[in-house]
Amino acid sequence: MRAIESSPDKLLATIISARYETATVMALIITQSNRLERLGEALGVWLRHPAPLPLEQDIVVVQSNAMATWLSREIAKDSGICACVSFPFPRALITDLVTSVLGTDAMSRFGRDRLVWDVLEALKQRLSMPLYEPIRASMGESPDRRLQFAAKMAHLFEQYTVYRMDMLAHWEQQSSKDWQSDLWRTVTEHLRESPVRLVQSFVTALPSASLPRRISVFAPPTLSPLYLQILRAVSDHCLVHVFVHAPSAFFWGHTNTSRTKRDHADSDLLGAYGLVGRDFQSMLEAEPYIQADVDFFEEPSRETLLGRIQSDIFHARPMAEIERVPMLSDDTSVQCHSCHSSTREVEVLRDRLLHLFETTDVAPHEVLVMAPDINQYAPIIESVFGHDPKHPLFIPFTVSDRAQSDDSPVISGFLKLLQLCSSRLGAPEVMDFLAHPPISQKFGLEADDLDQISNWLMNCGLRWGRDRQHRHQLDQPGNDAHTWQFALDRLFIGYCFPGRDYRLFHDRLGYDHVEGMDMNLLGRLSQFTEVLMAAHRDASSILSMSAWCDLMDRFITDFFEPDHHSAYEIYCLRQVVQEMRVHAPASGDLFSIATVIWFIKRQLAESVVRSRFMNHGVSFCALLPMRALPFRVICLLGLNESTFPRNEVRDTFDHMAQNRRIGDRSQRNDDLYLFLETILSAREKLWLFYVGQSLKDNRSMPPSVVVCALWDAIAARTTTANGADLIWDRLVVRHPLQRFSRHYFERTDPRLFSFVVEHASVAQKRSSPPSPPPPLCRESLDIKPPETVDLSALVRFFKDPVDAFLRQQLGVSTRLHHRELVQDELIALDPLSRSDAAKLLIRNKLFHIPAGREILSAKGMLPHGSLGERVYLDLERIVIPMYHELQMHWYEPRQAPKQIQVHLDGVVLSGSIADWVGGTLVRFNVANPTGKHLLATWIQLLAIASFESFDWQARHVFYEKNKDRIKIKTYLMKVPDHPQDLLQRIVQIYQRGLQKPVPLRPELGWKLVAREDHDLMDRFVKALEGESDEFWVRFFPEPSSVAQEFCDLVRDVFEPLQAYCHVQS
């Protein structure tokens, strides 16, 4: 870069000479540069000369904490330290100046939080007047709507104060037929003060005021008319030095900003996106100022594409004068990366940075990454970059600007609590809240405890609702079925009165599976639900804001326990509540919890977590004004068509939107200027990322308009005839959908690469011809077969031998063994619930237990009202025919479970067998016949016959439904001559299956045997083609290699069953 000769000392001498030798000159001091580094150098000299008094505080106004961090380091580079320098924001400076001059807290009266309540009071007084007819209907009599509208008007009045002070002065001087002017006059009369009179008093009192010796304003992208007016007035009595970051060394207020004139001679990036800076330049030119005859501008180098763009902006070159040069193939100063998702953007960025650090001397702390919505990207960044420092892919990084509600577990948990208090208390959302780390820590719950609690609540029939009263408030049937009170009652009754055999206790049926030490866990659950239900009950009321603050203080105490991690977050949360308490008047207005949630979120949205910007490593932050600091490499994420630039919806009654003036702000214009500043701040590389390909169909999606404009600007600087096509091919890297795509490792396109070794092996496997993976378990486990076998474990094993091996030997759970919590209203029973309900009714009839419907209701298995009646009648259609079939075999009272112990060859089989009458085992299932159910009955029959010589038999009744045809099918099983031999083979298969998976599929085996299919091997191989069970495929990748073993297992297990089992329909 070629620096224009200049001297900070010469600058200083010129400024001091002009300021003090010409007594009539009272003006701002302005220093301009297109490089923040040069401005920082000038500021450092300015702060050192003349030397400040001991402990004198220098004031340097900045626009962001990031700028303060960067600037303090720049100052320390020359002097070795940055001390006694404060970095207030513009608003804070103006507030301090006015307060110090007038000696009052007048400015605090016009703070947004205080102004909201003053506007609300004014609305209550004036809303009934005819003048307010345009807005009265939208608010009605609801205090909630009035408060939200008051907040909107408070923000608008605050904008009027800094951008339309003359309009407010006009409103105060004379009556107007406009409701806004009347509302403003009412507010100022209530406050007995107005910003207009306040500023006038401030300017009048300046000559006798005690002011700072000097004030520096560093690199503001713009200043509001009010702030500029106050600084100009202060500059008559103390030194006010404004350091301006100017994109160009020339006056560029004339450049075209209309998007409809893209082909105009003056239209380029500076004209299209520089409206904010252009307005600020015009506002400064309208004020008297001193500017030293020293040039701090520095012409950018034109060696790279990025440098040429910066140079053309610096010279404000019209399009017709732009020099066209060939694009170098190794010029990577500007790159665009088109990805399929936000996650892929961050993954691609990680690989790009690793390559950059490997091939250049760029260090992580010299890289800045910004995103329009950093809260969306923060979890992804933590996931992709959050490696252990010893990991080869580790890159140090920090994430700044996250909203407190997203980054703080306490604050996010508090917001969840408030949402719960306004909800139906659905079981899944309450359990999600209980699993939130600060909440589970408060109540002493671990992950296993939460799983146990979820299982309890699901089996107790919990769905939603606090209690009977809560359901009634929501116009639901006035009973407490499926509520939290219902579920807790069942848990406590089951613990206190276990084994009651479906006997009701005060219309409640206890849940019998809570015993022993489970009481400790039940106590903690009860403690949580007690405070939650109390919070929900109290939050259902309409309260004053003061009462809401008291209630929220109680919520914080009840649900959060301060420790070294959460103490500060709890303090911040209490501060938000305290601010609400201080600013809210002690009026009689009553508000709902919905308004309180809105107000809390509004307060939290304006606060961010304490940033550690530029702390170490790559800096991730939000794309905000004056965040485009000079970095060697700047990356922008999320430059999608729909997300950037951000649009701001203005109200129709906003006078600023109706009549724009120079210096007015808008979100869109701020974003456009921010993009321009980003281009100018990148010293070596500018990387742009966006979602440019659809996840669904891979279609192309356009990037943000700023990216398209940059492509056009680059195309105008190339000599290629088809410039746009060249830009697309050379600048835009289209990345594959998957991070392990083969394109990253084939190197046909050198711009596609990956540093993740694991992905290379995956890509190689995907690109090579498919081959079956090796078996997951080739050899038997070196374990001794058990000498004692439990009968129930034996039965469970043969339901799914592969799953049993995984669970018992490897500790891997491959199936969902219980249903999940739901919060929908129970309307109909799913197949599993219908089967459970029917089985319960059948058993109750067989065992002469009355009140079947009452028991189902007490278990929460029936819907409410007429729907429950219909469901029960449908169940009776299943129950009655099965009951009659079973009753024929249940000719005497049920016998007590028989304890058995069978001694086999080196193995003792023991267990308990229930539901037998005389010499018959009676089993039933409300389902079609299945191999696993028949095999379970067969194993129990062999066990009891081996234990006791008797004429045993078994009957297994099924409820078979095929379309509209219903059939009760009974399978009668006889005992073979030598049951011990068959049982011995089954136990040996069990022992073998615990050492190595056995290729037995009960359903398939019974199906093939029942059809008397003699070609078992071929049928087995064909049946398993395209098998979807992941672990079965991992254990037996080639069915043909285990087909013979399958046939042997079928012959040992199912052929004897088929031989001694007969169907009776």
- pLDDT single digits (tens) 835-875: 888 888 888 888 777 767 888 888 888 888 888 889 888 88
What average pLDDT does this structure show over 239-263? 67
Cβ atoms of 632 and 366 closer than 8 Å? yes
With a CB cutoff of 8 Å and minimum separation 6, the contacts of 171 are 178, 180, 181, 184, 185
Where do we find the tokens 């009355």?
A: 850
Band the pLDDT of 725: cuts 50, 70, 90.
Answer: low
| Architecture of the structural domain at 2-88+213-299 | 3-Layer(aba) Sandwich (3.40)
User: How many percent of the chain have pLDDT more than 70?
Assistant: 85
Cβ atoms of 480 and 486 closer than 8 Å? yes
**Domain range list for the chain:** 2-88+213-299, 106-201, 320-402+611-735, 405-512+519-605, 788-815+900-917+927-957+966-1064
Give the 3-state secondary structure of residue 177: coil
Cα–Cα distance for residue pair 304/411, rounded to 1 Å = 47
Cβ atoms of 573 and 410 closer than 8 Å? yes
Cβ atoms of 449 and 460 closer than 8 Å? no
Convert the pLDDT of each residue in 935-946 to its tens digit: 999 999 999 999
pLDDT, residue 5, reads: 43
The two three-digit tokens of residue 373, written as one number = 């919505």
For the cut 70, the answer to whether the pLDDT of residue 751 exceeds it is yes
Cβ atoms of 290 and 30 closer than 8 Å? yes
What backbone torsions phi and psi does residue 981 show, to the nearest 5 degrees?
Answer: -65, -45
Band the pLDDT of 804: cuts 50, 70, 90.
Answer: confident
User: How many percent of the chain have pLDDT more than 90?
Assistant: 23
For the cut 80, the answer to whether the pLDDT of residue 503 exceeds it is no
pLDDT, residue 1026, reads: 56
Burial class (CB in 10 A: 0-12, 13-18, 19+), 262: middle
In this predicted model, which residue has the larger pLDDT, 12 or 46?
46
Q: Give the highest mean pLDDT range of 90-104, 452-466, 491-505.
A: 452-466
Cβ atoms of 939 and 986 closer than 8 Å? yes
pLDDT, residue 720, reads: 59
pLDDT, residue 265, reads: 37
pLDDT, residue 759, reads: 65
- If phi over 0 gives left and psi between -120 and 50 gives alpha, with beta otherwise, what is residue 953? beta
* C-alpha torsion 262→266→271→275, nearest 10: -110
Burial class (CB in 10 A: 0-12, 13-18, 19+), 696: exposed
Band the pLDDT of 537: cuts 50, 70, 90.
Answer: very high
Cα–Cα distance for residue pair 543/694, rounded to 1 Å = 48
pLDDT, residue 687, reads: 94
For the cut 50, the answer to whether the pLDDT of residue 1 exceeds it is no
In this predicted model, which residue has the larger pLDDT, 403 or 76?
76
Query: What is the DSSP track for 51-95?
Result: PPPTTPPEEEE-S-HHHHHHHHHHHHHHHS---SEE---HHHHHH
The two three-digit tokens of residue 458, written as one number = 């699901």
For the cut 80, the answer to whether the pLDDT of residue 662 exceeds it is yes
pLDDT, residue 18, reads: 47
Cβ atoms of 727 and 714 closer than 8 Å? yes
In this predicted model, which residue has the larger pLDDT, 1046 or 574?
574
The two three-digit tokens of residue 1000, written as one number = 């037995």
Cα–Cα distance for residue pair 285/346, rounded to 1 Å = 43
Cα–Cα distance for residue pair 611/39, rounded to 1 Å = 24
Give the 3-state secondary structure of residue 341: coil
pLDDT, residue 883, reads: 87
For the cut 70, the answer to whether the pLDDT of residue 1013 exceeds it is no
pLDDT, residue 917, reads: 83
CATH class, 405-512+519-605 region: mainly alpha
pLDDT, residue 263, reads: 38
Convert the pLDDT of each residue in 775-795 to its tens digit: 666 677 777 878 889 999 999
Cα–Cα distance for residue pair 98/199, rounded to 1 Å = 8
Cα distances from 1011 to residues 1007, 1019, 1055, in angstroms, run 6, 11, 11
Band the pLDDT of 434: cuts 50, 70, 90.
Answer: very high
pLDDT, residue 323, reads: 76
Convert the pLDDT of each residue in 566-606 to its tens digit: 888 899 899 889 888 887 776 677 888 988 998 888 888 76
pLDDT, residue 771, reads: 63
Q: Which of 161, 146, 149 is nearest to 110 (CA)?
A: 161
The 3-class SS string of 937-951 reads HHHHHHHHHHHCCCC
pLDDT, residue 105, reads: 66
Asked if domains 2-88+213-299 and 320-402+611-735 share a fold, the reply is yes
Cα–Cα distance for residue pair 228/290, rounded to 1 Å = 15
Band the pLDDT of 348: cuts 50, 70, 90.
Answer: very high
Q: Give the highest mean pLDDT range of 323-337, 398-412, 889-903, 986-1000.
A: 986-1000
pLDDT, residue 125, reads: 86
For the cut 90, the answer to whether the pLDDT of residue 689 exceeds it is yes
Cα distances from 95 to residues 89, 106, 184, 210, 330, in angstroms, run 10, 9, 21, 15, 52
Convert the pLDDT of each residue in 1016-1039 to its tens digit: 666 666 666 655 566 667 777 777
For the cut 60, the answer to whether the pLDDT of residue 23 exceeds it is no
- What is the CATH T-level fold of the domain 106-201, as seen in this structure? Arc Repressor Mutant, subunit A (1.10.10)
Query: What does pTM read for this prediction?
Result: 0.80
For residue 50, is the peptide bond before it cis, meaning its omega torsion is within 30 degrees of 0? yes
- Element containing residue 477 per DSSP (H, E): none
Least confident of 147-156, 269-278, 743-752: 743-752
CA angle 165, 168, 170 (to 5 degrees): 110
| Architecture of the structural domain at 320-402+611-735 | 3-Layer(aba) Sandwich (3.40)
Cβ atoms of 942 and 982 closer than 8 Å? yes
Convert the pLDDT of each residue in 910-931 to its tens digit: 999 988 888 889 899 888 888 8
The two three-digit tokens of residue 261, written as one number = 């004139």
What average pLDDT does this structure show over 613-637? 84
In this predicted model, which residue has the larger pLDDT, 418 or 861?
418
